[in-house]
Structure 1
């Protein structure tokens, strides 16, 4: 497989995932209390939103790269 084809397929997959999930959710652990030997932590869930335009642009770029790569080869 050509490098352009692999890159195009990767971009298409990332675009579809970005449109499907529309954000990346992750969990962090933060200290709530720190009194000498006593420590308490809490897990907090945070979300990094991905606008739908990011997924659409990535998907279209992958399709264009795939089509152009097929015609030049």
Structure 2
């Protein structure tokens, strides 16, 4: 549980840093006819709402604290 909480917190912080999302480019082969090769570059965007990072950080803290309470009481 502790590792899961830490991973959630790190992902949430990364989402807060990259608030608008991330952009990346993919390369797709369109034509490959012997010596002739044509590639197409596509721009892609993965976006999320601004509050999503904060929600994930809070969820990670809850998981971290819940995991710690179970170990201490058992």
TM-score, normalised via structure 2 length: 0.71
Q: 1:49: Cα distance to partner?
A: 1.0
Residue in 2 that maps onto 1:20? 17
Distance in 2 between residues matched to 1:69 and 1:40, nearest whole Å: 53
Distance in 2 between residues matched to 1:31 and 1:69, nearest whole Å: 48
Pairing of 1:1-73 with structure 2 (within 5 A): 4-22=1-19, 23-30=21-28, 38-73=36-71
What are the ranges of 5 or more consecutive residues in structure 2 without an aligned counterpart? Answer: none
TM-score, normalised via structure 1 length: 0.72
Distance in 1 between residues matched to 2:60 and 2:68, nearest whole Å: 12
Q: How many residues align?
A: 69
Helix, strand or coil: the match of 2:69? helix
Helix, strand or coil: the match of 2:51? helix
What are the ranges of 5 or more consecutive residues in structure 1 without an aligned counterpart? Answer: none
